[in-house]
Structure 1
Amino acid sequence: MYVNIFLFVSVPGSVGFLLQPFGAILSAPFVDHFGRKYTSFMVNIPHVVAWILMYFASTVTMLFAANALLGFGTGLMEAPLNAYVGEITEPSLRGMLCTSTQMFYSAGVLLMFFLGKIMNWREAALVSLAAPVVSMVFIILVPETPVWLLSRGREKEALKSLCYLRGWTTPDNVRDEFDQLTVYCKKLECCAICCKTDDDEIIDCEHKKANVFKRIYLKFRYVMIAKETLRPFVLMIMYFLFISMTGLTPIRPNMINICDAFGMADGGKNIAVNRIIIFTSF
């Protein structure tokens, strides 16, 4: 009996996680094409549609679709959030602000379990709708990142954006940082293979004229397996492996149903909230 219960509750809870990698794959091209600001605005749209769909859901299919949109939208959010925070902040604050996203993610999970305890799921979906809507409003008020604007040749807008991000200051006060960003963006336009092999900053090189398979091979050889790439890659793999082995991610969507299925005296919702509080505190 318990096997059947686990199979039943695991399917809807896993739909969002199955769609999340597909959103993450599309996230990077969206960020490069539309910019960090507008992509951060657009990735909230799947969440808005999902919460509205969940509130008005009358069939199981609508619930599955809403959960799939939530997972897809979460995957889309990964690149623009980190890119925006990383490009607008000063080095002394960058690490703290980038890691704070995980803290607020855990706080959001705790809030969702708490809402599920004090109200029904339709009301919880309606309250949750406020998060992406408020996020979209605040995103409208912030500028695009100077790095992306410089990569598109919009230097005046990039300087104006940097002045805004550094406290509505004047261009003279951010001139040194702006010049450094300009040099950095010019280096990004260089051929990655040339920079790895010859330290050559020529944009037009023979590698861009080579066939696609040769370019892929050379980039993999000189960029992907370079120590500058492998070190952070290994650290991220170790981090995600540790998070997955804790068991929180796969058990979280089904925690309440599993606790109720075993007939725990304290109730599934109370146990779930207490477990999330303990995990968040660490």
Structure 2
Amino acid sequence: MERESTEYGQTSSLLLTRISPDISCDGERQQSSYFSSPATAVVVLSTLVAASGSYVFGSAVGYSSPAQSGIIDDLGLSLAEYAVFGSILTIGAMVGAVMSGKIADLMGRRGTMGFSDIFCLIGWLAIVFAKGSWWLNLGRLSLGYGIGLLSYVVPVYIAEITPKDLRGAFAAAIQLMSCCGVSVMYLVGTVISWRTLALIGTIPCMLQLLGLFIIPESPRWLAKKTRGNDCEAALQRLRGNNANISEEAAEIRDYTETLQRLSDSRMLELFSRKYTHSLIVGVGLMVLQQFGGVNAIVYYASAIFVSTGFSSGTGSIAMVVVKVPVTLLGVLLMDKTGRRPLLMVSAAGTCLGCFLIGLSFLLQDLQLWKDFSPIMALGGVLVFTGSFSLGMGGVPWVIMAEIFPMNVKAEAGSLVTVVNWFGTWIISYAFNFLMEWSSEGIFFIFSIICALTILFVAKLVPETKGRTLEEIQASMNSFRAK
């Protein structure tokens, strides 16, 4: 294994020098316009179509809260039965995540998005026509499976088609669309029935399904499948008819051919030494994202407001008002500030938000500042929501799509996505028990985890702004081989 790693490192260093003469072996970026490309109409359209999948994701996550009272009243469900309906989405998503990488490699990025949309449509329609809990849960499970696939393939597709100088902002649109999906469900769900709300959930699925017929496949996936002519044709469409794509096409082809000679893309291969850094970064960011408390706050914000004596309706509306514009700000800053600064500022904000929520619960227990503690809780939730939307919500998915080479991207992406959904399930399931144990204690723990996120990013997460995917992967391989 040591000899294999050494040979891999030597090959990576040579490849790095060949494809990226403006980057030294320690990963330092030098001034260059190499492969700089504007955003063409095809890139914008392709990104919008792909990001529609993130809107589907947000709609599915945001549906259960506004629909709760209507479903319980109309179908006569108990609170426990509705809890099954809400949580089974996560189970379906984990199953989809396990299969996502292999399906995306087999069917292509476009094919996988279309395959996902079919399951999402089936899920929404099953909910629309449900007469009891069985069809309701089956629909929710199908919907979860579909968004489990989408949560992997959407960021990967966007990262593989966009120019390096715009990749961060375009990939960050994933979080913006997801945020819009959640917000629309929250707002619209207050004025229409749960069946109509589920019917509205089918619209982005159908729009994406139709849009997939007019956007190109990922050039990097085509290159991996040794479809060189199709790769160049797709790249030409994405970069514009008059763009010179010869160098970029050559880089993609050379890197793909080198990776195919080096390994055979097995799951065990992912855990070899040469991928350790990428795996630690990808998995670590997802673990820290989930165990920093996001789903505790998103799923149980109303309960938190009620526990602290604040109006749940006012608090929920305030969350929506904060979430959308801050997410848009994160999109605009992604390729200006870079990934690392955005992550560290975001983690610092979530740390402060959790600390304020925990402090408000502590003050209530001590019977101090009774009039001020509800306002502190609201402030903490809003600070956390805004800070998370700025970076920690979307940037880990962007980095996940950037740091793994094509030969292990399927296995790595599936693993990272499963870790994310498993963390979602753990926190959403255990949070109520943890609140009974210690309301302030659990939020202080979340705050500590957010603080550790800052250190993790500072020490281990690479800056990927302004680099092609091949440059990122080659420089990381070269760094690991030293």
TM-score range, shorter chain: 0.7 to 0.9
* Cα drift, residue 273 of structure 1: 4.0
Partner of 2:271: 220
Partner of 2:279: 229
CA distance in 1, matches of 2:208, 2:173: 16
TM-score after normalising by structure 2: 0.47
- For structure 2, list consecutive stretches of 5 or more residues without a partner in the other structure: 1-77, 327-385, 387-482
User: 1:251 pairs with 291, 297, 300, which one?
Assistant: 300
* Structure 1 runs of 4+ with >6 Å offset: none
For 1:44, the aligned partner's letter is D
Larger relative contact order (CA 8 Å, sep ≥ 6): 2
What is the percentage of aligned positions where both structures have the same residue? 21
TM-score after normalising by structure 1: 0.78
Partner of 1:102: 175
Q: 1:222 to 1:49 in 2, by over 3 A?
A: same
User: 2:139 pairs with 54, 58, 66, which one?
Assistant: 66
Q: Note the 1:1-282 alignment, pairs <5 A.
A: 7-169=80-242, 173-192=244-263, 216=268, 220-224=271-275, 226-242=276-292, 244-245=293-294, 247-251=296-300, 255=302, 272-280=316-324, 281=326, 282=386
* Cα drift, residue 47 of structure 1: 0.9
* Cα drift, residue 236 of structure 1: 3.1
CA distance in 2, matches of 1:246, 1:52: 26
The RMSD of aligned alpha carbons is: 2.9
Asked if structure 2 preserves the Cα contact closer than 8 Å seen for 1:113 and 1:269, the reply is no
Partner of 2:53: none
Q: 1:227 to 1:8 in 2, by over 3 A?
A: same
Asked if structure 2 preserves the Cα contact closer than 8 Å seen for 1:147 and 1:181, the reply is yes
* Cα drift, residue 246 of structure 1: 5.5
* Cα drift, residue 271 of structure 1: 5.1
SS at match of 1:119: coil
Asked if structure 1 preserves the Cα contact closer than 8 Å seen for 2:81 and 2:133, the reply is no
SS at match of 2:245: helix
CA distance in 2, matches of 1:248, 1:70: 22
Partner of 1:198: none
Partner of 2:357: none
* Cα drift, residue 241 of structure 1: 2.2
CA distance in 2, matches of 1:137, 1:57: 26
- For structure 1, list consecutive stretches of 5 or more residues without a partner in the other structure: 193-202
Q: Deviations over 1:118-138 (max 9, x none)?
A: 110111111121110001111
How many residue pairs match? The answer is: 248
Asked if structure 2 preserves the Cα contact closer than 8 Å seen for 1:40 and 1:81, the reply is yes
* Cα drift, residue 178 of structure 1: 0.7
CA distance in 1, matches of 2:314, 2:132: 27
Q: Deviations over 1:206-249 (max 9, x none)?
A: xx9xxx9xx93x7524244x22432343233222322x455134
